[in-house]
Structure 1
């Protein structure tokens, strides 16, 4: 299988990196599916909203919910997440080369979210690249059954890995 994950120090860094990867692959004519995160500017009294872009050129979906000032719980909106999963699933009916996921997070580690779509993409022979964090890296590796490669959070490293597993 052609499956990789990457981690960055700052959450925003990973979002920008995977969005740039999607743009560069698409510029090469690589058909992408999945999501990348594009956060909206924040007000000073609460955290940034979390928006995802459906690849390659689909809708932006807000997957966060505002829980109020001082809230500490998970801001993920489960209905919006389900909508994003359904939208990406529909987009996967046509041919594609790579599946990108902004974050293999708690939802996926628990068997939900984009987990089934990652498995479907990998089983179809598509290249899979996901972002994650140190808390979920072991879960991702377990999910990939030891076949995942950790790639440095660097655009050149990601493109080199992609090229190595997809020789021309």
Structure 2
């Protein structure tokens, strides 16, 4: 595991480290929704996976400010071996994050830093932009990608357990509303 999850002086960059059994997507979406209801200017995206009638799953990026849903997966045939991520949808999701960064929101949420970002693709540039602008950033990192996250951000940031109260305490500690 990661070691000491709670840090004494939390950074404005926070990563919720999660395991496959954790429902981090719902946790981040609900946390973002709660902050927005309380008047926090929040921007970015969260992920929702929707099971279709035919048994396939559609991955959606949801704009936390507007609720707009963007499909980020392509429908592939049963034996397809290629990546199911849709580059057009990912570009649209990246634009949502970029607009939020330029809008100087109170908190940027980017659904996750995973394999694609670790390899320099998908939303990696948006992560770098949010960090460079000094905006508070909340993301999720699969436990198996934690070392990639640390390599990317120079081991700067707060590591959070996948629990509502831990995220809320981080938000309050950095001066969140």
TM-score, normalised via structure 1 length: 0.88
CA distance in 2, matches of 1:163, 1:116: 27
Q: How does 1:1-150 map to 2 (within 5 A)?
A: 1-10=11-20, 13-46=23-56, 48-150=57-159
TM-score, normalised via structure 2 length: 0.84
CA shift, 1:20, in A, is 0.8
CA shift, 1:43, in A, is 3.3
CA distance in 1, matches of 2:160, 2:75: 33
Secondary structure of 2:46's partner?
Answer: strand
Number of residue pairs matched by the alignment: 167
String of CA shifts for 1:72-129, please: whole Å, max 9, x gaps.
4321111211121123212332220111111112221112222222222222221111
8 Å CA contact retained: 1:18, 1:102: yes
CA shift, 1:62, in A, is 0.4
Secondary structure of 1:49's partner?
Answer: strand
CA distance in 2, matches of 1:43, 1:36: 23
Which stretch of the first structure deviates more once superposed, 71-80 or 138-147?
A: 71-80
Structure with more of its chain in strand, by fraction: 2
CA shift, 1:5, in A, is 0.8
